[in-house]
């Protein structure tokens, strides 16, 4: 009986920014738990390639290439998914970017680029999907926050600001939408082996610092985020709302 709480058979999930990295890992985890998944990204060819890889793994998958920073494109794409593929039960707001440089040198246009992708998109896609979920009286929205929703490092202040805002937007979505039967929560990854972090992985000094700073003593593997995502997407979390689960190997637990 307990395992059925985590069964996603018959559920349909949209995962933004899912042609690679954490997004693709989360989509894979949801698919293996039984969900039908819709992959998203701006590069249609890369999204299609990822869809084929999931299908080869026995997962029911579809492509939906659109720009999550364009509110009109988001509304049109979500409407098309609902009409052509089917009702969305789960949304994972994963799309995000990182830019590193000293804050005093940070260009204004790059600040806005980060905010559009990391924060505005969560509002645009979350709102568009919630408008379909609310009349149905159920739905799961999982926003991908970050370890840096709680802390910051040199040269990534705008990223930390965007992810701190995602944390509180998650709480705000819960405050507005829980009464309609929706559960809105977040996952805060620590440092994972992803294309976004490749420069840090290749930096011996940072690699040594990260392993020493993390109680687990290593980088995370993207598949280690799947369990938290399945939990938050399933009936097992039906009374969990407005929370962020940090999956960071213990970084936030220690000085």
Show the tokens assigned to 46: 């890369």
Q: What is the pTM of this model?
A: 0.97
Map out the domains of the chain as residue ranges: 2-249
3 or 137, greater pLDDT: 137
For residues 137-143, average pLDDT: 99
Catalytic annotation, pick one of 124, 154, 159, 246 = 159
**DSSP labels, the chain:** -GGGGG--TT-EEEESS-SSHHHHHHHHHHHHTT-EEEEEES-HHHHHHHHHHHHHTT--EEEEE--TT-HHHHHHHHHHHHHHT---SEEEE-------S-GGG--HHHHHHHHIIIIIHHHHHHHHHHHHHHHHT-EEEEEE--GGGT---TT-HHHHHHHHHHHHHHHHHHHHHGGGTEEEEEEEE-SB-SGGGHHHHT-HHHHHHHHHHSTT-S-B-GGGGHHHHHHHHSGGGTT--S-EEEESTTGGG--
CATH architecture entry for 2-249? 3-Layer(aba) Sandwich (3.40)
pLDDT tens column, 29-43: 999 999 999 999 999
* pLDDT of 177 above 70: yes
pLDDT (0 to 100) of residue 246: 98
pLDDT (0 to 100) of residue 143: 99
Q: Answer positive or negative: Cα dihedral of 171, 30, 91, 252.
A: positive
Q: Does the active-site annotation cover 191?
A: no
* pLDDT of 27 above 70: yes
Q: Choose among 98, 26, 114, 42: nearest CA to 74.
A: 42
Give the CA distances from residue 221 to residues 69, 137, 201, 237, in Å, rounded to whole numbers and listed in that order.
27, 35, 12, 23
């Amino acid at each position: 009986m307990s395992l059925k709480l985590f069964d996603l058979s018959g559920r349909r999930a949209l995962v933004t920014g899912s042609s690679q990295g954490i997004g693709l890992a989360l989509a894979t985890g949801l698919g293996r738990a039984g969900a039908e998944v819709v992959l998203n990204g701006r590069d249609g060819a890369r999204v299609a390639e990822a869809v084929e890889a999931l299908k080869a793994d026995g997962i029911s998958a579809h492509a939906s290439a659109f720009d999550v920073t364009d509110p009109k494109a988001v509304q049109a794409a979500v409407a098309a998914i609902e009409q052509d593929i089917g009702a969305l039960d789960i949304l994972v707001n994963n799309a995000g970017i990182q830019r590193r440089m000293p804050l005093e040198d940070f260009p204004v246009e790059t600040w806005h680029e980060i905010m559009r992708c990391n924060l505005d998109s969560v509002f645009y896609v979350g709102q568009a999907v919630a408008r379909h979920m609310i009349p149905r009286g159920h739905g799961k929205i999982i926003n991908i926050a970050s370890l840096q929703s709680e802390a910051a490092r040199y040269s990534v202040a705008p990223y930390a600001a965007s992810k701190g805002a995602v944390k509180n937007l998650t709480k705000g979505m819960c405050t507005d939408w829980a009464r309609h039967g929706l559960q809105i929560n977040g996952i805060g990854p620590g440092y994972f082996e992803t294309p976004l972090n490749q420069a840090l992985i290749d930096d011996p000094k940072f690699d040594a610092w990260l392993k020493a700073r993390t109680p687990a003593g290593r980088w995370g593997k993207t598949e280690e985020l799947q369990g938290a995502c399945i939990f938050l997407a399933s009936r097992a979390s039906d009374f969990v709302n407005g929370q962020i689960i940090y999956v960071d190997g213990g970084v936030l637990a220690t000085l």
